[in-house]
Amino acid sequence: MNGLPSLTGMTNKAAGLPRNVGTFVVLPENELALTAGENLLGSGLENSPQLQYVYGPSGVGKTHLVQHCLQMSRAHEPRLPLIMWPAAEFVERFSQAAEEGRIREFQNRFNEVDLLVLEDVQVFERRRESQQQLESQLDRLIQRGGRVLLTSRKSPGELSGFSARLINRFIGGVSTAMRMPGATSRIKFLTHFAETEQIPISSAAISHLAQDLAVSPRELRAALVQLEAAAVHGKQPLDESLIAKYLQREALQPELQLSDIVRAVAREFELSMVDIRSKSRHQEFVLARQTAMYLARKLTQNRLETIGQFFSDRDHATVVYACHRIDELISQRPHLRRRLAGILETLEVHDDITC
């Protein structure tokens, strides 16, 4: 963090709001990033930075932190004009605008925006034209007093394929890391989630799980949900014995494979599995591919990176964008919802995951 602005002296003046809003859990590994985010989006703060760059590995809670800070901000500025996109959506929308000769229209979308939130900005790597657009929008927004919140899996110094000018914009703000939780933080997180979701589990069992499962908060949450389901299904307590079996991969039934999902999607869309997993941008292939990614995210415990790699080595942010896109289309296209129902029937999944 050499050369970055210090956070010393920053104060949390969020109008008395508690540090934990909603389900966000404050841990030593995320507290600095949280403080900076609250100062960025707080009300009445003098000399606060206009740009924050939050970085850390997948699953540590960057998106959750963004949502927490936006919730706090809306308490002060309920009509705050903002754009909140996955960075992959910025790239996709700009590429489409360039192809259709509508770049000026794309740029005008940002004219009245006071807050820009982009997640997973590492996807701009080696996308020179998209980087130029982002740099231009950051400069215009900051010059008129707006604010910017960016997240990434990489620190500014770890980014490759980026222009020096854009990296300078990133380090010109406040750069804060979110780290993987240590054992004590994993216990705190699991305890909080178990209490919030009313999952019956003892402190000893939580400690056992936390000590032996050194993973991200997202994966800890998924593990606890799986364990609760296994306990209910097996009519047994969620105790240390069940956790030991889970940790040995004996407690749960094997989950769906990514190939199973792609096969079912290919059958519904009357395409080949090769088409869906390919790099082709043909519209029919894109919709089927995004549907497969959406279902893979909903129905499996695979990491976003694993899902992206399965589809011709795509970035995990592309998977995030696909999920957002399908969520939007489900409410707009009843035919797509029926297709999803057909795919779920083929996979013998009986839950309505689209609710």
Separation in Å, CA 223 to CA 128, 209, 256: 40, 9, 16
Quickly state the pLDDT bin for 247 (edges 50, 70, 90): confident
- Look up the CATH superfamily of 258-346: DnaA protein, C-terminal DNA-binding domain (1.10.1750.10)
Report the C-alpha gap between 185 and 27 in whole angstroms.
6
Residue written as tokens 């909080």?
Answer: 192
- Return mean pLDDT, the chain: 84
Which residues of the chain form CATH 3.40.50.300?
31-177
By the 8 A CB rule, do 22 and 54 touch? no
Around Cβ 354, how many Cβ atoms within 10 Å? 15
Looking at residues 158-174, what average pLDDT do you find?
Answer: 92
Task: For 31-177, give the CATH class.
Answer: alpha beta
CATH architecture for the domain at 183-247:
Orthogonal Bundle (1.10)
Q: pLDDT of 107-154, one tens digit each? A: 999 998 999 999 989 888 888 999 999 999 999 999 988 999 999 989
CA distance 241 to 238: 8
Q: Is the pLDDT of residue 7 over 60?
A: no
Q: Predicted confidence band at 180 (pLDDT cuts at 50, 70, 90)?
A: very high
Comparison of pLDDT for 284 and 13, the residue scoring more: 284
Contacts of 327 (CB under 8 A, 6+ apart): 294
pLDDT surpassing 70 at residue 8: no
User: Which single residue is written with the structure tokens 């696909």?
Assistant: 322
Q: Which residues of 126-144 are buried (b: 16+ CB within 10 A; e: fewer)?
A: ebeebbebbbebbeebbee
What DSSP designation does 42 have?
Answer: -
Q: Given a cut of 80, is residue 9 above it in pLDDT? A: no
- SS3 for 242-284 is HHHHHHCCCCCCCCCCHHHHHHHHHHHHCCCHHHHHCCCCCHH
What's the one-letter identity of residue 256? L
Predicted local distance difference test score (pLDDT) of residue 350: 60
pLDDT at 271 over 80: yes
Pairing label, strands 174-177, 51-55: parallel
Res 43: pLDDT: 52
φ/ψ of residue 215, rounded to 5: -130, -175
Distance CA 212, CA 258 (A): 27
Residue 73 has pLDDT above 90, yes or no: no
User: Range(s) for CATH 1.10.1750.10 in the chain?
Assistant: 258-346
- CA 50 centroid distance within chain: 22
Cβ atoms of 6 and 56 closer than 8 Å:
no
**Residue 76, Cβ density class (10 Å: 0-12 exposed, 13-18 middle, ≥19 buried):** middle
The predicted-structure confidence for 286-309, as pLDDT tens digits, reads as follows 999 999 999 999 888 788 888 998
Q: What is the DSSP string of 152-201?
A: ESS-GGG--S--HHHHHHHHTSEEEE-PPP-HHHHHHHHHHHHHHTT---
Residue 59 contacts residue 305 (beta carbons within 8 Å): no
Tens of pLDDT, residue by residue over 15-72, are 233 344 456 889 999 999 999 998 888 754 556 779 999 999 888 999 889 988 888 8
Structure tokens at 175: 């750069």
Q: Residue 58, class by beta-carbon neighbours within 10 Å (0-12 exposed, 13-18 middle, 19+ buried)?
A: middle
- Every domain of the chain with CATH number 1.10.8 lies at 183-247
Residue 46 is predicted with a pLDDT of 57
Q: Which residue has the tokens 């990434």?
A: 152
pLDDT, one tens digit per residue, over 200-229 is 999 999 999 999 888 889 889 888 988 998
How many angstroms separate the CA atoms of 179 and 55, rounded?
A: 9
What are 290's two structure tokens?
């995004």
**Residues contacting residue 289 through CB under 8 Å, at least 6 positions apart:** 276, 277, 311, 322
CA atoms within 13 A on the CB side of 217: 27
